[in-house]
Amino acid sequence: MGRMRLKSTVRPAALRVGHTPWHVANPMAKIKEALTLKFQTTTDADIETTTFKPGDEVKVIQEWANSILVRAADGHYYNVPKDKIDK
């Protein structure tokens, strides 16, 4: 019996034309000023704090109207007010 060849066609999904969200084009940002934020690893864990210094680099995950969700070097996620992030 001969080898059977499967033919596959891959088509790219429709591309959005126009504005690219800021967090996609520039995934890294810097903290503008000293700031202390809180996080909780699980719902029953204690609330912990992290202090950021001006110039600390964070990865932008999502942008909302008044804040930006970032991941810090410690791996935790924080909602940071937009005026505290240097784009």
Summarised one tens digit per residue, pLDDT across range 37-57 is: 998 888 999 999 999 999 999
User: Which of the listed CATH numbers 3.20.20.60, 3.30.70.600, 3.60.40.10, 2.30.30.40 matches domain 22-86?
Assistant: 2.30.30.40
Whether 54 contacts 33, CB under 8 Å: yes
Q: What is the pLDDT of residue 48?
A: 92
Summarised one tens digit per residue, pLDDT across range 11-38 is: 555 545 555 565 566 589 999 999 999 9
Listing DSSP states for 19-53 in one string gives PPPHHHH--EEEE-S-EEEEE-SSTTSPPEEEEE-
